[in-house]
Amino acid sequence: MSEKVTVALVQMNSGLEAGANLAEIARRAAEAREAGAAYILTPEMSVVFAENRAGLAQRAAGWEGNPDISRLAEIARENALFLHIGSLAIALEDGRFANRSVLFAPSGEILATYDKIHLFDADLPGINAYRESATYAGGENAVLADLGAFTLGFSICYDMRFAALYRALAQAGAQVIAVPAAFTVPTGQAHWHVLLRARAIETGCFILAAAQGGQHANGRATYGHSLVVAPWGEVIAEANGDQPGLVIATLELDAVASARQRVPALANGRDFELPARISG
């Protein structure tokens, strides 16, 4: 018999006030518990969704003694489930912030944290250069956590464009990979589904992508479409557009081994060298 686990994804329209966002997380966690979920994932920047460094400086606290962390631990404990905060901003000593994912056990204990590795630094046509690294410090380590029913790999938003991270997580034992995000509307329309399905197919993992959606108080608009992708690449659950809500899915974990047996790309991969360029 296939081992099964029920999971929940929260699609949010997070604003600038932590209290309102925390109340929404608490409400959705209670709904997820009632639906039988053992694990719930929120989007990137769930607790405060500020647009820039100045906005974050007014609202983000450091790690030690952080009242938002304390409240989230209570929510996990009250609902007796694994609460995975896709990310929140943590103030660092150098004036920048960590874009940090936090996984709470049903006891409220922090099981694991992950700081977003890949930062979006780009020169965009028609606008000024965008430098995420001016606001955030990139993480250094990939992270796995054992939830008992499955092994979870961590990532955040822009990470999804870097397939090597997902392959490394799968090779290290991940069966499920979380992708909390706050995708813009144009990139979401073009890339959201195809990238997430590709990461599932390449790794033979379930992909859980909880997203921000709609027009936010910070002026941004995000794509929504929180979804769950099975290891063979099919979308098995998806939110209705960009509206806030809860996505519930049951993962049949035997599908991981089945997909990897049918297409053993993880086992068949080989190291190789790229020779020096030969000019004609």
Neighbour tally for 70: CB within 10 Å: 10
Asked if residue 163 lies in contact with residue 200, where contact means CB atoms within 8 angstroms, the answer is no
Q: Which of 226, 222, 176 is nearest to 199 (CA)?
A: 176
Tell me which of 4, 34, 44, 202 is the catalytic residue.
44
Q: Which of 24, 34, 140, 157 is catalytic?
A: 157
Catalytic residue, chosen from 3, 34, 116, 238, is: 116
Quick one: which of 195, 113, 204 has its CA closest to 162?
A: 195
Instruction: Assess whether 157 carries a catalytic annotation.
Output: yes
- Listed in sequence order, the residues at least 6 apart from 37 whose beta carbon sits closer than 8 Å to its beta carbon are 6, 7, 8, 81, 248
The answer to whether residue 34 is catalytic is no
Cα gap 156→266, rounded to integer Å: 22
Is 205 part of the annotated catalytic residue set? no
Q: Is 154 helix (H, G, I), strand (E, B) or coil?
A: coil
Rounded-to-integer distance, Cα 228 and Cα 236, Å: 6
Q: How many CA atoms lie within 13 A of 129 on its CB side?
A: 6
* Dist CA 181 CA 115 (whole Å): 13
Half-sphere exposure of 49 (CA within 13 A, CB side): 28
Query: Which residues are marked as active site?
Result: 44, 116, 157
